[in-house]
Structure 1
C-alpha cells in the first residue's frame, strides 16, 4: 500500500486540514463520509500517521479537493487520466479503493402480476489508478429471514432461477454484457461488463459512468424487505418503494451499523400516485458498510 515520505505527509496533512475546515466539517464528520475511524483522520492531520493512497482518494472525493490531495501521490511518468497509454486494465478485485458512488437510485415496485420489479442505477466515478471494465451486483432473497432453516428448505424446493428474474443491464444507457459468477438457490452474483454494443468501454481514472440493472422476483420468493448496503464510498443514495393501494402497505426502516440498529434520520416520505402508494427516502454521505433496511406489512389483503 503506497504511503508518503515525511515531507510529503506534512504537506498532505496541511492541505487536508485546510480543505476540511473550508468545508466546515469536523474530523468526525469527515471520517464518517470517508468510511474511516475518526482517530485515523486525527492522526493523519497531526502527523502521527502517514496517509495511505486509499485514504487520499476518498478524502479527495469527499472534500472535492480539485486534485490537491491526489497530486501528493502523483508519480513522475504517470499517464494522464483518460488516456490509454500505460494503464493496466482493471477488473473488480480492488473496487473498494478505486470506486466512488456519486449517486445511487433504487426503485422497487410490486406489479399487478405479483412480481417485485427492482431497478438500481449508480453513477460511479473511478478514483483509482487504472481503468475499470466491470461492476459487481447481486440478487439476494429471503422469504423467512427470522428462520434460516425454513428459508434454506424453502429455496431448496423453490429456487430463484436466473430465467425468471429476467435480469438486464445497461452502461451509460445502452444494453451491455453481463455474466453470472455465482448461482445459488437464493443468491446470484453478477458482473456487469462495460461493453455496450459488444465494444469495450473502460472507465478511466477520473471518469464517471452510469451503471443500471434490473430484475424481478415473485413476492412469494422475495420476502417483505429491501436492503441497500453501502459497499463503496457514496455521496448520495435514494430510493422509492411502490405498492398497489389496495395492499394498505405500511413501511418502516432502520439503519444497521456495527454499533447496532438505529432509526433512520428521517422516515420515508409517503405519497399517493397513479401507480399506487409510494415511499421515498434519501441519505447524503452515508457511512461505509452501513445497511439501510426497509420492511413492510400489508393490511388491505
Structure 2
C-alpha cells in the first residue's frame, strides 16, 4: 500500500473546507462562483481536486462565505506542505476520483430524511431507494454530515467545534441495506464536517448494486443539541424522483418551522409549499416533500423553539 501524498491530502482538506462552508451558507457551486467572480466550472474543479487551490481563491472564498479565516488557514496549511515537499518530489498529478464506479449512473427513486429531537439530542435517519442505471456495479455510497451551531458567526462556530469536535463515538453511525449491515469508511474527518463511504459489504460478504437493480439503504447518526444547530439542509447531488423531510419535536417546546430553496440559477427563496404540521402524543411533526427536485438544488429547513426551556 503506497503512502498517501501529503500535498494531495492538504488539497483535499482545502476542498472539503470549501464544500462545508458553501453548504452551510446554502450556496450552489454556481452561486458561490457568481459571488466570487469566477467561472462555475472553476469552483467545481477546486472542490473535485482537479485544480490546486490558490491564495487568491482562498481569500475571496473566505470573505464571501464569511468563514472566519477557516478557509485561509486551510490554504496556509496546503501551501506549507507544498513548499516543504517540493525539494523531495515533483508535484504529483491529481487523480480524478469516480464517485461510485466508472460507468455508473445512480438514481435516487425515494429520499426520506427524518430528524427526531428528544430535548437534548438529535437523531437523524436517512432512508433511500437507489437504482443503478449504469453498466458497472456500485460498491459504495458517499454521505456527508455537516453541522453549524452558530450560523452567521463563523469564528464562534469554529472555536466551538475546535473545543467540542464531533466524534465518531457520539455520532454512533449505523447503516444497513435491506437488513444487511453496511461497513463504512471515513473519507474526511473534520471537527464539524464528516464525509463517509457506506460500503455494500460486511464481514459476511459483499452485495454490490448491479446494473438495472434497485435497493433500499438506511443510515442513522446522533448529534447533541449543543453541536447541531437549528437547521437541516438537503442537497440534491444525484437525480432524485421524490424527496421527503420530516422534523419531529417535543410539542411543549412550541416549535415553528420555515424553509428556503436555493438552485443553480437563483438565491434562496421560500419553499414553494409550506411544511405540513401535525400534533399527537406530545410531539409536533413537520413534513415537507417535493417531486423531481432540480439537480444541485438545496432545501434548507430552519426552526425556532418558542418555549426552549420546557421539558
Give the TM-score band, short-chain normalised.
0.5 to 0.7
Q: Which residue of 2 aligns with 1:182?
A: 188
Q: Which residue of 1 aligns with 2:293?
A: 286
- Give the drift of 1:198: 2.8
Aligned residues: 211
1:65-214 aligned at under 5 Å gives the runs: 92-93=99-100, 98-112=105-119, 114-196=120-202, 198-214=204-220
Indicate if the aligned counterparts of 2:100 and 2:138 stay in contact, CA closer than 8 A: no
| Pair 179,121 (structure 1): closer, same or farther in 2 beyond 3 Å | same
Q: Which residue of 2 aligns with 1:217?
A: 223
* Separation in structure 1 between the aligned mates of residue 103 and residue 252 of structure 2, nearest angstrom: 42
Indicate if the aligned counterparts of 1:105 and 1:237 stay in contact, CA closer than 8 A: yes
* Separation in structure 2 between the aligned mates of residue 94 and residue 295 of structure 1, nearest angstrom: 35
Q: Which residue of 2 aligns with 1:269?
A: 276
Query: Are residue 226 (structure 1) and residue 226 (structure 2) matched?
Result: no
Q: Which residue of 2 aligns with 1:257?
A: 263
Q: Which residue of 1 aligns with 2:244?
A: 238
Indicate if the aligned counterparts of 1:91 and 1:133 stay in contact, CA closer than 8 A: no
* Separation in structure 2 between the aligned mates of residue 96 and residue 164 of structure 1, nearest angstrom: 36
Secondary structure at the residue paired with 2:158? helix
Indicate if the aligned counterparts of 1:91 and 1:134 stay in contact, CA closer than 8 A: no
* Separation in structure 2 between the aligned mates of residue 179 and residue 198 of structure 1, nearest angstrom: 17
Indicate if the aligned counterparts of 1:135 and 1:191 stay in contact, CA closer than 8 A: yes
Q: TM-score, normalized by length of structure 1?
A: 0.67
Q: TM-score, normalized by length of structure 2?
A: 0.65
- Consecutive aligned runs of 4 or more in structure 1 exceeding 6 Å deviation: none
- Give the drift of 1:173: 2.5
Secondary structure at the residue paired with 2:268? strand
* Separation in structure 1 between the aligned mates of residue 102 and residue 257 of structure 2, nearest angstrom: 33
Q: Which residue of 2 aligns with 1:51?
A: none
* Separation in structure 2 between the aligned mates of residue 296 and residue 96 of structure 1, nearest angstrom: 41
| Pair 91,198 (structure 1): closer, same or farther in 2 beyond 3 Å | farther
Indicate if the aligned counterparts of 1:234 and 1:286 stay in contact, CA closer than 8 A: yes
Q: Where does structure 2 lack aligned partners over 5 or more consecutive residues?
A: 1-96
Indicate if the aligned counterparts of 1:122 and 1:210 stay in contact, CA closer than 8 A: yes
* Separation in structure 2 between the aligned mates of residue 197 and residue 270 of structure 1, nearest angstrom: 42
1:12-91 aligned at under 5 Å gives the runs: none
Q: Where does structure 1 lack aligned partners over 5 or more consecutive residues?
A: 1-89
* Separation in structure 2 between the aligned mates of residue 261 and residue 225 of structure 1, nearest angstrom: 14
Indicate if the aligned counterparts of 1:171 and 1:195 stay in contact, CA closer than 8 A: no
- Give the drift of 1:275: 5.3
